[in-house]
Amino acid sequence: MNIAILCGGISPEREVSLSSAALIANALEEKGHKVCLCDVYVGLGEDTKITKELFRGDVKYSHKVSETVPDLDAVIAENGGRRELVGPHVIDLCRIADAVYLALHGGIGENGQLQAMLDIYGIKYTGSGYIGSLLAMDKDIAKTLMSEAGVPVPPGFVGSTDDPDIKDKILKMGLPCVIKPCSCGSSVGVSIIEKESELDPALEFARKYEKRILVEKKIVGRELTVAILNGRVLPAIEIIPKNGYYDYKNKYQSGLTEEICPAHITEAEANLLADETRRVFEALKLKTYARMDFILAKDGTAYCLESNTLPGMTPTSLVPQAAAAVGISYPDLCDTIIRLSLE
């Protein structure tokens, strides 16, 4: 097949996306496909001829995620200050492809906007549709739907960094707590607050990415993540950062986090996590594959933190590890995701 791989974009997770896309491209080539990598924001050159000659099967790709979140203003400046989120000829490329692999993380690639645009043109793409993507990306909506489905979620509230009383509201709820932007992934803008003096820096950090924030009580327990592929729940992975918490740097820099797969949990705990993963998948109307993040508290409650509709596929990412634990190689995983998306 000729597969267009969309990546990059104007998103704080841009670097993660570029790394995922490089590995996905190599894997799909290994499975006999031809690919064309396209940064959804940069697009193709204005004079590019949109033909099937753009798809290649003999190019090797690589991209290393930097330690810090990318400067999106600099990316925009490098592209002449263009504010359109979809670059030249992106849709034209997608229309001549047999399928589109969405290797995007965050932004329009994960909030349903790009999915809706592709739907308008009848273009097949990987992952969930625009409804599921929208529901899962907005942490406020997702949390409400998960709770209504009977899935435990951390207590908390949605607020604004512009609210002059936001600190008082947080202190009334009580510390320690977690502050996160409502529509970011990869722990971008996230802070764990243990004492009052940490509130101002945490609010300012979140505000860099979004004024609307989710504030939650910190749940003490084991951090676990569970992937689901075509209705099959894959083995849980326990995440143990060597320093601090599972932030952007610890996620994507090799060797900074211990990831135990399969996690050392009881059969009952594994069944509980699997049941809640399926419940979240259905409640958020997701398709093909996703990954759910949990905290398993000491009392045995599994609190769902969020769902990832286009989980990372970088060298340190978790879904490939879970797939490998049941004998699914990285190339087979990418190929399976493509084929399921065409059904």
Catalytic residues: 13, 186, 252, 291, 293, 306, 308, 312
- With tokens 């993380």, the residue in question is 105
Measured CA to CA, the distance from residue 58 to residue 61 in angstroms comes to: 10
Q: Which of 42, 134, 35 lies closest to 86 in space, CA to CA?
A: 42
Measured CA to CA, the distance from residue 292 to residue 273 in angstroms comes to: 9
Q: Residues 310, 227: contact at Cβ < 8 Å? A: no
Measured CA to CA, the distance from residue 149 to residue 301 in angstroms comes to: 15
Say which residues have a Cβ less than 8 Å from residue 272's Cβ, sequence separation at least 6.
300, 302
Measured CA to CA, the distance from residue 28 to residue 306 in angstroms comes to: 29
Q: Residues 188, 181: contact at Cβ < 8 Å? A: yes
| Alpha helices (H) along 155-212 | 166-173, 199-207
Measured CA to CA, the distance from residue 175 to residue 191 in angstroms comes to: 12
Both structure tokens of 33:
């496909």
Q: Residues 112, 142: contact at Cβ < 8 Å? A: no
Task: Report the b/e string of 174-206 with b at 16+ CB within 10 A.
Answer: eeebbbbbbbbbbbbbbbbbeeeebbeebbebb
Measured CA to CA, the distance from residue 52 to residue 308 in angstroms comes to: 32
Measured CA to CA, the distance from residue 19 to residue 178 in angstroms comes to: 28
Strands (E), 266-310: 289-297, 302-308
To 10 degrees, the CA torsion angle through 17, 109, 188, 35? 0
- φ/ψ region of 163 (left if φ > 0, alpha if ψ in -120 to 50, else beta) reads beta
